[in-house]
Amino acid sequence: MTNLSPKKTLGMVLFLVLIWGINWPLTKMALDHTPPLLFSGMRTLLGGLILLPVALLTRPGKLRWKSNAGIYIALALLNIVGYYGLQTIGIGYLPAGLFSTLVFLQPILLGIFSRLWLGESLGRLKAAGLLLGFAGVGVISLGGLEGRLSPLGIALALLSALCWALGTIYTKKQGARIDSVWAVTVQLLLGGTALMLLGSGTESWSAVQWTPDFIGILLFISVFVIAGGWMIYFLLIENGEVSTVGAYTFLIPVLSNVFSIVLLRESATITLLIGLLMIAGSIMLVNRRTRSGGPAGIERASD
């Protein structure tokens, strides 16, 4: 494990937030050239293939397929087929900025599941953040009830967040048994292959428009967002920077909305802006550090 300086840690976190923020409008742009499941499969499978040589060279002998196959399959179903598959379909029904904001309710869901399954207690700030976040979803959902927004898109965004939260909890529970680099590599390979098969059976490869713009977006997302982003994420986690990553998470949907307005010329209603501000505030409360330096509300985790 390499010790990271505070300056290097901050640089890596900001890079991660930047590329994960721009991912959403880029995905929306890519879907003008490809069916969603095929695109989701292509970008995740490519990301896994990029990471495979890294895992082979830096983690030889740590795959442990026979003993960990069930864990890898579960992670692939939750984090790749569920999270990436649902988000790639769902983003076609909502503005990219809004969709990313709903998906990044994941830290709020994570707070609930951590209490239920990891024995972490909820402090006042985290509890307030949970309530504010759900209220924000309710405000945004009014647009769907009034016909301005797609209820299906809202549901798919929330299901995507649910899959990611469950996958994160499962990763934490199985963390002692699996190597982090192999875990992300194998779930990308397995999940990406599953999505490619699903897409090939339900969508048409002839619908993919292999334009320079599409190829550029596909390569950027595969290399930087998926392979590079997840490698940086796990490097930070391995170096004990969980709270640092969490403290900056709220910036991702904010940046996504900014990039979506610039790149896609998306507009926002007053109701939507109020809901976005409520959700951003809730995520800030959930991720706020206490005086002891840990995330707000996590007073004691079970062994």
Give the model confidence (pLDDT) of 11-21 as tens digits.
888 898 899 98
Q: How far apart are CA 14 and CA 129, in angstroms?
A: 23
298 within a domain of the structure (yes/no): no
Please indicate whether residue 259 or residue 46 has the higher confidence score (pLDDT): 46
- pLDDT tier at 292, thresholds 50, 70, 90: very low
What is the share, in percent, of the chain residues with pLDDT greater than 90?
43
Please check the confidence at residue 110 and state whether its pLDDT lies above 90: no
Please give the Cα distance from 143 to 269 (Å, whole number).
9
Higher-confidence residue of 281 and 80: namely 80
Q: Are 11 and 236 in contact (CB under 8 A)?
A: no
Is residue 153 one of the residues assigned to a domain?
yes
d(CA 24, CA 64): 34
pLDDT band at 72, cuts 50/70/90?
A: very high
- What's the confidence (pLDDT) of residue 297? 39
Query: Average pLDDT for residues 136-150, to the nearest whole number?
Result: 68
- Residue 235's pLDDT is 75
Residue 1 lies in a domain: no
Hey, how many other C-beta atoms are within 10 angstroms of the C-beta on 259? Answer: 21
Burial class (CB in 10 A: 0-12, 13-18, 19+), 58: exposed
Look at residue 57 and tell me whether its pLDDT is greater than 70: yes
User: Considering the domain boundaries, does residue 30 fall inside one?
Assistant: yes
pLDDT for 146 equals: 54
Q: Decide if 292 is inside a domain.
A: no
- Provide the number of structural domains found in the chain: 1
Q: What is the pLDDT of residue 290?
A: 47
**34: containing domain:** 6-287
In the prediction, which pLDDT does 294 show?
Answer: 45
- What pLDDT score does 13 carry? 83
Q: What is the reported pLDDT for 136?
A: 78
Q: Residue 102 domain-assigned?
A: yes
| Residue 295, beta-bridge partner list | 289
Residue 233: the pLDDT is 78
d(CA 146, CA 143): 5
Q: Which residue has the higher pLDDT, 69 or 180?
A: 69
53 within some domain = yes
Tens digit of each residue's pLDDT (9 = 90 or more) over 84-102: 999 999 999 988 878 887 8
**pLDDT at residue 117 greater than cutoff 50:** yes
Residue 298 confidence class, pLDDT cut points 50, 70, 90: very low
Question: What is the tens place of the pLDDT at every residue in 207-253?
Answer: 999 999 999 999 999 999 999 998 887 777 666 555 556 556 667 87
Reduce the secondary structure of the chain to three states and give it as a string: CCCCCHHHHHHHHHHHHHHHHHHHHHHHHHCCCCCHHHHHHHHHHHHHHHHHHHHHHHCCCCCCHHHHHHHHHHHHHHHHHHHHHHHHHHCCCCCHHHHHHHHCCHHHHHHHHHHHHCCCCCCHHHHHHHHHHHHHHHHHHHHHHCCCCCHHHHHHHHHHHHHHHHHHHHHHHCCCCCCHHHHHHHHHHHHHHHHHHHHHHHCCHHHCCCCHHHHHHHHHHHHHHHHHHHHHHHHHHHCCCHHHHHHHCCHHHHHHHHHHHHHHCCCCCHHHHHHHHHHHHHHHHHHCECCCCCECCCCCCCC
The pLDDT-based confidence of 296 (bands split at 50, 70, 90) is very low
Domain assignment present for 43: yes
Residue 200 above 60 pLDDT? yes
Label residue 228 left, alpha or beta by phi (over 0 means left) and psi (-120 to 50 means alpha).
Answer: alpha
d(C-alpha 280, C-alpha 103), whole Å: 12
